[in-house]
Amino acid sequence: MRIAVIDGQGGGIGRAIVERLKAAVPGAEVLALGTNSAATGQMLKAGADEGATGENAIVHGVRQADVIVGVIAILSANSLMGELSPRMALAVSESPAFKVLLPVNRCGIHVVSVPDVPLGTHIENAVAAIKGFAP
């Protein structure tokens, strides 16, 4: 299974996701797709098998993924953090991959009907969903 993890800004959330995925899903190939080099670098330090940065890397990388993991605040097409272009958001939404989105209630986005729990809980729930996915 090939898992693409998308992160931006400092890459802290992506790093945590990669660390947990590598421990929980043995044999999975994890691709770090950073909107910037800092995010990609953090995910590679966490154990991602490959890394790539920028719009073209994300557009190409999600086409090859069985699973895409991202944070809703980062993946909004409005580019809330100035990180994600509409082309990247379109590539993610059009991908046939299983998409796992972590709800982060910040940056003007509030996801209703989602419990307000620590980010670590959302990450663990995402990893559990991926473990239960069989391509």
- The count of C-alpha atoms lying within 13 angstroms of the C-alpha of 122, restricted to the half-sphere facing its C-beta, is 20
How do residues 5-30 score in pLDDT, each as one tens digit? 999 888 899 999 999 999 999 999 99
Number of domains in the chain: 1
Residue 97 Rama label (left phi>0; alpha psi -120 to 50; beta): beta
Q: Is the pTM of this model over 0.75?
A: yes
Q: What is the CATH number of the domain that holds 98?
A: 3.40.50.720
Is residue 30 a contact partner of residue 22, using CB atoms and an 8 Å limit? yes
Out of 14-23, 24-33, 63-72, 112-121, least confident range:
112-121
